[in-house]
Amino acid sequence: MHEFKYIKGRLYCEDVKVEDLAKRFGSPLYVYSYHTIIDHYLKLKNAFSSIKPLIAYSVKANSNLAVLKALVDKGAGLDIVSGGELYRAIQVRCPMNRIVYASVGKTEREIEEAVRRKILFLNVESLQELESINRISKRLNTITRVAIRVNPDIEPKTHRYITTGRLTNKFGIDFKSAYQILMLRRALPNVKISGLHIHIGSQITDASPYSAAISKMVDFIERLRKKGIELEYLNIGGGLGIIYNHETPQTAQRFAKRISPLLKRSGLKIILEPGRFIVGQAGILVTEVLYTKSTPKKKFVIVDAGMNDLIRPALYDAYHQIFPLEIKGANPRRTEKVDVVGPICESADFFAKERRMPKVKSGDYLAVMSAGAYGFTMSSNYNSRPRIAEVMVVKDNVFLIRKREVYADIVRNEIIPAFLLGL
Ligand SMILES: *Cc1c(COP(=O)(O)O)cnc(C)c1O
């Protein structure tokens, strides 16, 4: 369910014609629907209402301050992965007891910032990290809550770049080592191990890998309880899949129904860390067709957005639907098979390959659908392209939530050494 639909042959975001946005703010452009974001958050919240979990939105999926503020105001917490994301959380005044922090490589400085702010907990991914947190907390004369990120060794059946819960992945700690660390806990008096965390991957369309992983966790929790180790939280991570093409992901309701009994059996407070599920369908990338050209083997549609704006096809071979903003009067039989490509000097710079689409021409606008998650946040200045603008639509209101960069932004932090200037 999302708020992008055709009315009389024109694509709308909520009550606004997307083409008007492209004309007003320029192309390429990210467009987000406020109500789609909130709707997906509430779907998850309602589905789990019998458990009342903390839903900590995963900031890295879409970290625009307006998006974060909208969710935090509705009661969401934030799942962060860096000091920079903690800074964003502070900017939107997220209550610190709703922030959880996971990363295999937290620096000394990042740990200190999180410890000083007293976030809900840090998800610890190695013994050395736990020792660092203990040492830093001791220096700051405090006790820091942590959760151990366990690697449950589960195959989530998704793209190999986005699996995170196999023992061959760098994430988390295996059960045996986690157990040993818990046995060591008295040697680390400045950390309090108050929970366990898993995050098995992303774009997972079926509840089975979750129930397999959570079952393992519940067994582990029961084993710990017998040893007198009482925990408070079980954080089951994010990873809920969405529809990009023909996937049939479980709905929030079905997902909740499958795993709620297990979660209740854990006896712990539950945390969810959805990213893509909340913002994925809530955003599109609008782009203008610059040229079309035919080679003896192919037809190319060359657009003004590139892999620097949306890297998912290049990075994961990801599929995104692509629709013209205007289908009014279009003859549905006048389709052709094309590659939709960007202007960047890389062959991986494409949005679709061998895709059957309505015929388009120079000057037409296209919408790359389901681009709200891992779109703008993974964008870069590659090829010295200014990063593009983001707008948020709320019914018939439009808000610019990130200005388009200008050329000066690209070179802002660069310095030519004096010797090169002949000084
Ligand atoms: C990226 C990430 C998430 C969110 O993943 P989605 O697939 O966007 O739901 C949740 N938890 C952790 C620890 C992550 O790294």
Give the pLDDT confidence of 373-389 residue by residue, as tens digits: 999 999 999 999 999 99
Counting from 1 in the atom list of ligand 1, the atom nearest the Cα of 280 is: 8
What's the pLDDT band for 165 if we cut at 50, 70, 90?
confident
Counting from 1 in the atom list of ligand 1, the atom nearest the Cα of 240 is: 9
**Residues 263-314: pLDDT tens digits?**
999 999 999 999 999 999 999 999 999 999 999 999 999 999 999 999 999 9
User: Does ligand 1 lie within 6 Å of residue 364's CB atom?
Assistant: no
CA of 122 to the centre of ligand 1 (A): 15
- Give mean pLDDT, residues 202-213: 93
User: Does ligand 1 lie within 6 Å of residue 125's CB atom?
Assistant: no
Task: Give, for ligand 1, the residue of 81, 242, 272, 273 to mutate: max count of ligand atoms closer than 8 Å to Cβ.
Answer: 273
User: Does ligand 1 lie within 6 Å of residue 280's CB atom?
Assistant: no
pLDDT of residue 45: 97
Q: Are 204 and 241 in contact (CB under 8 A)?
A: yes
The beta-strand segments (E) located in 110-214 are: 121-124, 144-149, 191-197
CA of 134 to the centre of ligand 1 (A): 25
Give phi and psi for 298, each to the nearest 5. -145, 165
CA of 123 to the centre of ligand 1 (A): 13
Task: Give, for ligand 1, the residue of 43, 55, 58 to mutate: max count of ligand atoms closer than 8 Å to Cβ.
Answer: 58
Report which of residues 318 and 328 the model is more confident about. Answer: 318
Query: pLDDT at residue 48 above 60?
Result: yes
Q: Are 276 and 241 in contact (CB under 8 A)?
A: yes
Query: pLDDT at residue 167 above 80?
Result: no
Say whether 345 is catalytic: yes
User: Does ligand 1 lie within 6 Å of residue 240's CB atom?
Assistant: yes
Find, among 6, 58, 1, the residue nearest to 323 by Cα: 6
Task: Give, for ligand 1, the residue of 199, 234, 272 to mutate: max count of ligand atoms closer than 8 Å to Cβ.
Answer: 199
Ligand 1 atom 3 nearest Cα: 238
CA of 59 to the centre of ligand 1 (A): 8
SS3 of residue 217 by DSSP = helix
CA of 260 to the centre of ligand 1 (A): 20
Please report, as a single letter, which amino acid is at residue 366: L
User: Does ligand 1 lie within 6 Å of residue 273's CB atom?
Assistant: yes
CA 66 remoteness from chain centre: 15
Find, among 227, 123, 213, 219, the residue nearest to 182 by Cα: 227
Query: pLDDT at residue 332 above 70?
Result: no
Q: What is the 3-state secondary structure (H, E, C) of 74-138?
A: CCCEEEECCHHHHHHHHHCCCCHHHEEEECCCCCHHHHHHHHHHCCCEEEECCHHHHHHHHHHHH
Ligand 1 atom 10 nearest Cα: 238
Q: At what angle do helices 34-47 and 252-266 cross, to 10 degrees?
A: 40
pTM of the complete model: 0.96
Half-sphere exposure of residue 300: CA atoms within 13 angstroms, side-chain side: 16
User: Does ligand 1 lie within 6 Å of residue 2's CB atom?
Assistant: no
Query: pLDDT at residue 1 above 60?
Result: no
CA of 368 to the centre of ligand 1 (A): 22
Counting from 1 in the atom list of ligand 1, the atom nearest the Cα of 162 is: 7
Q: Which residue has the tokens 């989530």?
A: 156
- Pseudo-torsion of CA 327, 330, 331, 335, nearest 10°? -60
What domains are there in the chain, each with its CATH number? Answer: 4-31+280-410 (2.40.37.10), 34-279 (3.20.20.10)
Which of 1, 187, 345, 415 is an active site residue? 345
What would you report as the CA-atom Rg of the chain, rounded to the nearest whole angstrom? 23
User: Does ligand 1 lie within 6 Å of residue 231's CB atom?
Assistant: no
Structure tokens at 246: 């023909």
